[in-house]
Amino acid sequence: MAVTLAATAHAEPTEAELAQARQTFQRGVAAQDDGRYADALAAYTEASRVATSPQLLFNMATCEEQLGQLLRARKDYESAVAAARARSDAEAEREALARLTAIDARIPHVLVHVPAELSDLTATLDGQPVGIEALSRLALDPGPHLLNVRSPSRPREFEASFDLSAGGERTFDVDLGSAQPIAQPPPAPPVVPSAQPHPNYLPAVFATGLTVAIGFAAIATGVAGHSSRSDYLTLNAAPTNDNLTQREDLRSTGQALYVANAILLGVTAVALGVAVYFFVRPPGRSPTLATSSMRF
C-alpha cells in the first residue's frame, strides 16, 4: 500500500500549482496501489517539481525498488530520511530507515582486480567510463552488464558480460597479457646477383610474321579495290537502268576496300617498325655501359 500523505511545497508555488501537484500525487498513489509502478513513478516525479515531502520521496523510492532501480531507490530513501528529520516526522523517518537498511542488502556488487603496476588503465561499464578505483567494489542495479578494461601498453583487452541478481556479487581478475616487447626489424635478405638473361628473339619473329600477314592483307584489299573501281568505271561509261544496282554495289565495295587498304597499310607500317626495333635491340637483355667508356 502506498503512503498517501500529501506533499508540501519546497519552493513558493502558487495555490493552483499546489492543487495540481496534490492531484498528480494522488494519481501516483492510485497507480502504485494497482501495481503500475512505472506510471506511479512518473506521476510522483511530476509532482516533485512543484512540491516534495518525506512521503513523496518514500513513495518514489518504493516504486524504483519495485522496478529494479535499486541505486536510485537507495538515494531517494536517504532523501526521505533527511526530509523526515527536517520536519521532525519520527514515523516517516523510522519507516524510511527500515527500507534503507533492507535495500542495502539487496544491492549487488562487482569486484574487479586489476594489475596494480599499470597506471594507464581505462574502464567502461555498460558503455560509460568508470574510475579504476571504483572497480574495487562497485554497486550496481540487478540485470545484465558489460565490463571492459584495457591498457595501451598491453596486447589485449578484458571484456566480461555478466548478469547480477539482487544481493549477488561477482569477482573478476583482469588479465591483459604481458607487456609487448619492442619489435625488432627483420634482417635484410642477402643480395643475390641476378643472372644475365639470354636474348629473346621470339617477339621479333612474331612481329615480323605479323607484319608480313598484314602486308599481304593490305595488298589483297588494294588489288580488290582497284578491280572494283575498274569494273565500276567500265559500267559507268555506258550507264543503264539495268546496271544501276550493280554500279552502286561496285562503288560501295570499292570505297570500303580502299578504306580497309589504307588502314592495313598504316598497321603494316607500325608492325614493321616494331619488328625492326626488336631486331636492333633484342628484348630480355639490359643495356650495359662498360667502365672504360665512361667519360667526365
| 116 in the same domain as 68 | no
Give the CA count within 13 Å in the CB-facing half-sphere of 123. 24
Question: Among 83, 104, 125, which residue terminates a domain?
Answer: 104
Does 294 fall in a domain?
no
Whether 56 is covered by a domain: the verdict is yes
Q: Is residue 194 part of a domain?
A: no
Residues 57 and 72 reside in one and the same domain: yes
Q: Which of 80, 104, 128 is the last residue of a domain?
A: 104
**pLDDT string in tens for the chain (296-residue length):** 444 444 444 458 899 999 999 999 999 999 999 999 999 999 999 999 999 999 999 999 999 999 999 999 999 999 999 999 999 999 999 999 999 999 999 999 999 988 877 778 889 999 989 888 888 889 999 999 999 998 888 888 899 998 999 888 999 988 887 776 655 677 777 776 655 555 566 676 777 787 888 888 888 888 887 888 888 788 787 788 777 788 888 888 978 888 888 898 888 888 788 777 766 654 444 333 333 333 32
- For residues 169-186, one letter each, b for 16 or more C-beta atoms within 10 angstroms of the residue's C-beta and e for the rest, the string is ebebebebeeeeeeeeee
User: 162 pairs with which residues across the strands?
Assistant: 145
* 11 contact partners, CB below 8 Å, separation of at least 6: 50, 51
Q: From residue 220, how far is each of 77, 213, 215, 228, 246 by CA, in Å? A: 107, 11, 9, 12, 22
Do 95 and 21 have their domain in common? yes
Looking at residue 184, its pLDDT comes to: 66
Give strand pairing partners of 149.
Answer: 123, 158
**Which cell goes with 281?**
635491340
Predicted confidence at residue 198, as pLDDT, reads 55
Q: Are residues 27 and 89 in the same domain?
A: yes
Give the Cα separation of 46 and 60 in Å (integer): 11
Strand locations in 126-277 (E): 128-130, 138-139, 143-150, 158-164, 169-173
Residue 289 lies in a domain: no
Range(s) of the domain holding residue 143: 109-173
- Using CB atoms within 10 Å of the CB of residue 50, give its burial: 0 to 12 exposed, 13 to 18 middle, 19+ buried: buried
Q: How far apart are CA 129 and CA 73, in angstroms?
A: 22
C-alpha grid cell for residue 222? 588494294
Total of domains in the chain: 3
88 and 115 together in one domain:
no
Taking the C-alpha atoms of residue 170 and residue 153, their distance in angstroms, rounded to an integer, is 27
- Do 163 and 143 share a structural domain? yes
User: Looking at residue 46, what is its pLDDT?
Assistant: 95
Q: What pLDDT score was predicted for residue 296?
A: 29
Q: Please report whether residue 296 resides in a domain.
A: no
Q: Which residue has the cell 598484314?
A: 214
Listed residue (46, 52, 60, 43) closest to 2, CA to CA: 60
Does the residue 143 lie in any domain? yes
The C-alpha atoms of residue 236 and residue 262 are separated, in whole angstroms, by 25
